[in-house]
Amino acid sequence: MTTAIYPGSFDPITMGHLDIIQRSARIFDHLLVAVAPNFSKSPIFSTAQRLEFLREVTQDLVNVDIITFQGLLVGAAQKNNARIIVKGLRAISDFEYEFQMASMNKKLGDDVETLFMATSTKYSYLSSSMVKEVAQLGGCIRGLVPDAIHDKIVSQLLG
């Protein structure tokens, strides 16, 4: 059985993230979506909220589990028998940082491989930070985040 891990801040999950989750779930036997507490960025949504949003929008995907982890991603992958890290790649601008992280993760755990999945063109401009900014400034984010959690996200960002 092939288990893959898809890590991120998911602050909050966007349609771009959900697209990667759905497509990865069709490829791998088991997909772990791993919410990082995040040291460098200060998340707006708590870890519990980010987990809840992810659980709500993936409830129909039977081979997807939502987890959180402390410490190194490679450690979380090894602990959960995931030998593949899935990363979504939006554009050339993502590449340098993602390549650097993939190289560091390979150095930290030689048995764990990073695979990049190209983001669907329709979501290639999307990011959690842009979604937050637009919503906080009163712009419409419908279609950019999963419908099921849209109202909760907007009310928290405006509240």
Q: Where along the sequence are the contacts to ligand PNS (CB under 6 A)?
A: 7-9, 36, 72-73, 101, 104-105
Q: Which candidate in 9, 24, 87, 128 is catalytic?
A: 128
36 vs 144, which CB is nearer to ligand PNS?
A: 36
- Find residue 64's DSSP bridge partners: 31
Q: Which candidate in 41, 55, 79, 122 is catalytic?
A: 41
Q: Which candidate in 23, 90, 106, 150 is catalytic?
A: 90
CB of 76 to ligand PNS, least distance (A): 8
41 vs 140, which CB is nearer to ligand PNS?
A: 41
Whole-number Å distance between alpha carbons of 99 and 65: 26
Q: Which of 4, 38, 40 is nearest to 117 (CA)?
A: 4
CB of 138 to ligand PNS, least distance (A): 25
Q: What are phi and psi of 114, to 5 degrees?
A: -100, 130
> Does the annotation count 55 as an active-site position?
no
CB of 114 to ligand PNS, least distance (A): 10
Contact 2, 28 (CB under 8 A): yes
CB of 37 to ligand PNS, least distance (A): 9
> Does the annotation count 26 as an active-site position?
no
> Does the annotation count 150 as an active-site position?
no
Q: Which two tokens stand for residue 119?
A: 């983001």
Tell the burial category of 96 from Cβ atoms under 10 Å away from its Cβ (0-12, 13-18, 19+).
exposed
